[in-house]
Amino acid sequence: MKKLNNLLINIGLIFVALITGILAGEIGLRVAKIEGLKKANNNEPHRPTIFHTHDPHRGWALQPGFTAWWREEGEAYIEINSDGLRDREYSKIKPKNTLRIAILGDSFAEAVQVPIEKTFWSIIEQKLTKCDSIANRKVEVINFGVHGYSTLQELLTLRHQVWDYNPDIILLAFFIGNDIINNSKKLEYSQYRPFLIYENGELVVDMSFQDLIPALSNRYVVSFIDKIPGWLVNNSRILQVVKKVDLNLKKKKLDAYFMGLVPYNFQPPINNNWHQAWEITEELITLIAAEVREREKDFLAVLVGDPKQVHYDQPYLQKTFMKQYNINDMLYPNKRIEALGDRLGFPVLDLVVPFRDYAVENQACLHGFENTSLCIGHWNIEGHQLAGEIITNNLCKQFKFNYNQ
């Protein structure tokens, strides 16, 4: 009996110590103002950033009317217009004597890292009016770019949103760094989006993401803590901090996964997954070009380079990245898409070579910011300025043949 009493006393002491430790931890974290993450809401719309909301066709889109500062990379005050565009308001009825250009793209076009007046599409709008062949016409460049979009999501944007504005030119900003990966259901980690997939040897649109619970569509944003009842997680600072740590570790795994894929962007397909990713990518670009042609509009594919392709220290790049991954030609993806344009008869503007030449000559980083890292990430103001000028010059030459009226 005495042994049993001692055992019960010891268990009681352990329980009291455990409860005391938990309470001390909860109080200490609150006093120190250390915060974590609350339980994921299974019914919460999928939104890559605070600027986005659920979209039934594309997975997500910009949230109409939303405004906020963006300071995670670069800095800008972001205003989303009433139609869900990171741009000013436009009438869907095109004004007379106006040339309209629609921009399709991902985060390079969305461009939350820089003020709107510094974006490449704003620079095109400012500078293109000086082109002789514009002949005093007004120029409107409307930005439909959305963070993380694949080429299929951009095609659906064209169909569900862009044509309402009756544009004259469709400009597709294709990012070499991840668009091929985004287009493949087998390579892309985030499944809450439509995909073009092979089914019985035919390419079909897979909209199965519509049946997914948004909060569980990306294994990198869900923690084992989310399996615990919400009332407990949302009232426990310890569990919230544990969740934050868990997701930070998962993010590191995601970064490692993505970095493991990046080198294969610059090589011929190494396996069937990459072979299909390229076939799907080429088919999607072909579909966009064909749809634009059917509407008797003009199409321009603009190739946005990966930061590694345009780094100012090319000898270092060759000795490290290219040698490590046995890459023979950093321009392999660019040349492949240019060849597609040649076969199908649509123009392709490759920004990589002029960007690289500018970076080398000026020892400049055209990507990156002081509050993150230089020479990686998205275009900074200098990068947007250069892109706007190069695209404007190209469009001006195209107008001499297509818009001499």
Tell me: the pLDDT tens digits for 64-110? 999 999 999 999 999 999 999 999 999 999 999 999 999 999 999 99
* Cβ atoms < 10 Å from Cβ of 26: 15
pLDDT at 41 over 90: no
Per-residue DSSP letter, 265? G
* CA angle, residues 345, 166, 179, in degrees to nearest 5: 50
Tell me: the pLDDT tens digits for 142-164? 999 999 999 999 999 999 999 99
Percentage of the residues of the chain whose pLDDT score is greater than 70: 90
- The torsion of the CA quartet 205, 172, 378, 312, rounded to 10 degrees, works out to 120
pLDDT of residue 214: 58
Dihedral sign of CA atoms 214, 217, 218, 219 in order: positive
pLDDT of residue 403: 43
pLDDT of residue 42: 62
pLDDT of residue 189: 87
pLDDT of residue 217: 62
Per-position b or e across 63-88, b if 16+ CB within 10 A of its CB: beebeeebeebbebebbbbebbbbbe
What is the rounded CA–CA span in Å between residue 405 and residue 136?
Answer: 11
Instruction: Taking residues 31-35, report their average pLDDT.
Output: 79
pLDDT at 168 over 70: yes
pLDDT of residue 252: 81
- Higher-pLDDT residue of 40, 105: 105
What is the rounded CA–CA span in Å between residue 97 and residue 84?
Answer: 26
- The torsion of the CA quartet 177, 121, 364, 372, rounded to 10 degrees, works out to -60
pLDDT of residue 221: 65
Alpha helices (runs of H) in 320-366, residue ranges in sequence order: 323-324, 332-344, 352-362
Of 2, 157, 181, 182, nearest in space to 86 by CA = 157
- Judged on CB neighbours under 10 Å (0-12, 13-18, 19+), 20 is exposed
pLDDT at 400 over 70: no
- The torsion of the CA quartet 101, 102, 107, 112, rounded to 10 degrees, works out to 60
pLDDT of residue 402: 47
CATH topology of domain 52-203+263-403: Rossmann fold (3.40.50)
Ordered by start, the domain boundaries in the chain are 52-203+263-403
Instruction: Taking residues 358-384, report their average pLDDT.
Output: 97
- Higher-pLDDT residue of 398, 79: 79
What is the rounded CA–CA span in Å between residue 240 and residue 251?
Answer: 16
